[in-house]
Amino acid sequence: MLEVLPDQGCANPLRSIVKAAIYARVSTTANQSVEMQLRDLRELAARRGFEIVGEYCDEGISGAKDSRPGLNRLLADAEAGKFPVILVWKLDRLGRSLVHLVRLMEDFRRLGIELVSFSEGLDFTTTTGKLLFQIISAFAEFERDCIRERVLGGMRNAKAKGKRIGRPPRTYLSEETRKAMALAYRQGQGSLRQLAVRYGTSAATVRRCVGSLQRISTEAAASA
């Protein structure tokens, strides 16, 4: 738990002030506002004796968004060491998924920052909160493994059906174009990169076409 240490040089000890940041988010501004969250979190900070050094808000932004301006500023200031505590109204206001939430909490722990959630009554500065974090991390790891297994299973199923796995080619090239591109390279009419630009493809594709033509020529010579 974060300790508030007395000033040993005073007859009447003064409690040191712990700096805290507030993060609030609502998905839509139609019928919601961050004001309710901010009011509750300000009261929580007052009860705990925290000094609020920053309020970071995202209004009308879905939690599923990869980039949120308020959260981005919070993370930047966290990296800068501006506060040791972050107050949130609810954990789902912070993370877009269990895995994302755990990743954020691991980053906070690396920076020496503790998290307090108002609605759930969760205080990760306490021993019980630290134990709960371990449990949440285990569930997040389980979720990651399940997602990984589903992806690998889908890829195996697609391969079994003869489907192509991976990114589709940037452009479609006919067999005639592939041969012409490979011959142009062999005749010194341009580098891989130059031919890629000329034919609107990638240098790797040109290289594959050259290799394919070489194999065909070798096989034809061997069978002659």
- 190: its two tokens: 């341009």
Pick the closest to residue 198 from 214, 174, 181 (CA basis): 181
Return the closest-CA partner of residue 87 out of 55, 117, 112. Answer: 117
How many Å apart are CA 132 and CA 130, to the nearest integer?
A: 5
Kindly give the interhelix angle for 203-223 and 175-186, rounded to the nearest 10 degrees.
Answer: 90
Q: Which of 27, 97, 137, 202 is catalytic?
A: 27
Query: 3-state DSSP call for residue 116?
Result: strand
Positive/negative CA dihedral, 109, 112, 116, 121:
positive
Amino acid code (one letter) for 150 = R
Nearest Cα to Cα of residue 135 among 145, 124, 148, 121: 124
* Type of residue at 76: A
Active site residue 217: no
How far are the Cα atoms of 41, 58, 200 from residue 192, in angstroms, in the given order? 60, 48, 12
CB 27 within 8 A of CB 62: yes
Known catalytic residues? 27
